[in-house]
Amino acid sequence: MSEQRVPQERHDRLRLVVVVGSVREGRFGPVVARWFAEHAAEHGAFEVDVVDLAETPLPLALPPVPPAVDPALPRPAEMAELTRRLGAADAFVVVTPDYNRSYPASLKAAIDWHYQEWRAKPVGFVGYSGGSGGLLAMEHLKQVLGELHAHTVRNYVSFPRYYLLFDEAGRLREPGEPAGAAKTMLDELDWWGTALRGARRERPYTG
């Protein structure tokens, strides 16, 4: 009889920040984020921190000097906790709907107020909408985050017509396929997050 292997707890878990991008009244984003955060916690490679942008003021009026030029840019005091949590991340997952074939202005503000916090870190996406399932928002976000030297991973999770996929309690009616997609993306984030964290520690990224 072969010896049964018991999974070992990881002591080098990555800090995964799950960003809830929509701040619209009545939004569905927290439901999707809660589902994904549960899967990320069960994966075993991550410490999960859910950042809800609705809980942080995000001024649309940016300072005259961009964060890319001055990483020590003073930010509004109420944004300090958001900046700290983004900076502590080893990897990100952005939960986003499609708004007018793109992503919410709240996400753009959160991205534009920061720079160093995104660099040389992997980013995955969980999208939802009544049509494309967030794919249009994801494509635009890949371009923006690439400009900030983040690495967007190939795999993603998408919920087209999300209102038919979740029940009234916020549970998926047929969870198998989305759970498989989440596992695939989390595996990819684990690989890239571990590799890039090690690289940043060995040699600070200066690209």
CA distances 82 to 33, 79, 99, 126, Å, are 17, 5, 23, 20
pLDDT, tens digit, 9 for 90 and up, residues 145-161: 999 999 999 999 999 99
Does residue 16 surpass a pLDDT of 70? yes
Does residue 190 surpass a pLDDT of 60? yes
| 186, 156 Cβ separation under 8 angstroms | no
pLDDT given at position 67: 86
Q: Over the chain, what is the mean pLDDT?
A: 93
Does residue 130 surpass a pLDDT of 80? yes
pLDDT given at position 9: 59
| 118, 86 Cβ separation under 8 angstroms | yes
pLDDT given at position 191: 98
Does residue 85 surpass a pLDDT of 50? yes
pLDDT given at position 125: 98
pLDDT, tens digit, 9 for 90 and up, residues 101-118: 999 999 999 999 999 999
Does residue 2 surpass a pLDDT of 50? no
Positive or negative: CA dihedral 149, 150, 152, 157: negative
| 40, 48 Cβ separation under 8 angstroms | yes
Question: Domain locations in the chain?
Answer: 14-61+80-197
pTM: 0.93
pLDDT given at position 69: 86
Superfamily of the domain at 14-61+80-197: Flavodoxin domain (3.40.50.360)
pLDDT, tens digit, 9 for 90 and up, residues 26-74: 999 999 999 999 999 999 999 999 999 999 889 988 888 888 888 778 8
| 76, 89 Cβ separation under 8 angstroms | no
